[in-house]
Structure 1
Amino acid sequence: MSYSPCPSTEEAVTRIIVFFEQLTPGDVAAIDRFYAPQARFKDPFNEVQGVAPIQQIFSHMFVALHEPRFVVTGRVVQGAQCFLTWDFVFRFRNFQQGRTQTVRGVSHLVLDAQGLITLHRDYWDAAEELYEKLPVVGWLMRWLKKRASS
């Protein structure tokens, strides 16, 4: 039996994708239009609940990185949840400033009846996608990876 998600869920997911792909520092204040008041957010570095802490995470992203942006590369919607695959493109502010970095990951979103996000869980490999790109830590991570695979 095939499942066809209701158009309102598809529309909500499309609206969320557009928001994240066009996100600017000025848009962070509008996150409450996309997240439920008690929404939970978790990624490899953060675990918070509530709109204000989620806004702080995205505000910090714009302070810590140069020109961060999301490119959604795929989506699967089923019922009130979806998975989005994405590329997070940015440049470091403090080193390799001219070099564009890309982190690839997946977001699991659960939406309420109003199409607001109640759960946002990001999955990405911090070791491969971030730590290996850092000067000293990167050398250590690549060495450990090589040792583990031999």
Structure 2
Amino acid sequence: MSNAASVDALVAFFEDLHPAAVARFAEYYADDAYFKDPFNEVRGVAPIQRIFAHMFRQVDEPRFVVRERVVADNGALLVWELHYRLKGARKTASPPVIRGASHLRFDSAGKVIWHRDYWDAAEELYARLPGIGWLMRLLKRQLAA
């Protein structure tokens, strides 16, 4: 499978991701795939599945939207948004959004062997939390040029 076809299939998978689909990660990820994001660093399909199953327990209605993709011979870069609601929070007109990017590498079978997510946890998550959000905003103001 070409990287372009692998990326198309993976984007469709993530944009339709729901709790039952977490069981399908082995269709897209190699058995010993590496995954890293601001909170996790794991190897293997089962640990990757646990991360996404945990996401569904922590937030309501998570939904990935891939905004851009760059495909190369040895991998791809996806620029995405994760729309979600915190558990127990009331619905608002504009739910929170985490903006990030995923750097991917594929094996010869078109499965992901390396997945690194880049997103700013301080800006996209911590600054919105009650209690510490004000501290994060204060630090940002003090450190700005």
TM class, shorter-length:
over 0.9
Deviation at 1:145, TM superposition (A): 0.5
- Alignment of 1:44 with 2:38, yes or no, is yes
The equivalent of 1:75 in structure 2 is 69
Letter in 2 for 1:47: E
Identical positions, percent: 50
Tell me the SS of whatever aligns to 1:135: coil
- Does 1:130 find its partner at 2:129? no
* RMSD (CA atoms): 1.1
How far 1:97 sits from its partner (Å)?
3.1
Cα distance in 1 for partners of 2:18, 2:33 equals: 21
Runs of at least 5 residues in structure 2 that lack an aligned partner in the other structure: none
Q: Which stretches in structure 1 are left out of the alignment for 5+ residues?
A: 1-6
- 1:23 lines up with 2:17 in the alignment: yes
Secondary structure of residue in 1 paired with 2:131: helix
Query: In 2, distance between residues paired with 1:8 and 1:119?
Result: 16
Give, in whole Å, the separation in 2 of the partners of 1:53 and 1:63. 15
How far is the alpha carbon of 1:105 from its aligned partner? 0.2
Aligned ranges 1:39-118 → 2 under 5 Å: 39-94=33-88, 96-99=89-92, 100-118=95-113
After TM superposition, give the deviation of residue 136 of structure 1 in Å: 1.0
Q: CA deviation at 1:80?
A: 2.4
2:26 corresponds to which residue? Answer: 32
List structure 1 segments (4+ residues) > 4 angstroms apart after TM superposition. none
Normalized against structure 1, the TM-score is what? 0.92
Distance 1:31 1:20 in 2: 10
- Cα distance in 2 between the residues matched to 1:29 and 1:45: 21
